[in-house]
Amino acid sequence: MTIPAHRIAFGEHLRDLRQDRGWSSQEAFAHHVGIDRTYISGLERGRRNPTLDVIVKLAQSLDVKPAELLATIE
């Protein structure tokens, strides 16, 4: 399966934001967000396609606007 470039960009940006905010562990961040760690991993690797509800939940947990999570997608 070929992973679309926009999902890879989203995942890399999500990982960068998570780490920039001090969440070095996917597991701790996932617990904070209320999402399974394997789902966070899938998002960061571009394997998962998040719903709008998940994007909003991630943005709130990272203290950014949802549009910030999509900012790197062309």
pLDDT tens digits for 8-46?
999 999 999 999 999 999 999 999 999 999 999 999 999
Q: Does residue 31 form part of some domain?
A: yes
What is the model's pLDDT at position 56?
Answer: 97
Q: What CATH number did the domain enclosing 65 receive? A: 1.10.260.40
| Confidence at residue 64, expressed as pLDDT on a 0 to 100 scale | 97
Residues 55, 69: contact at Cβ < 8 Å?
A: yes
Is residue 54 a part of any domain in this protein? Answer: yes
**For the chain, what is the domain count?**
1
For the chain, give the longest Cα–Cα distance: 33
74 part of a folded domain: no
pTM passes above 0.85: yes
Q: 48 lies in which domain range?
A: 5-69
In a domain, 60, yes or no: yes
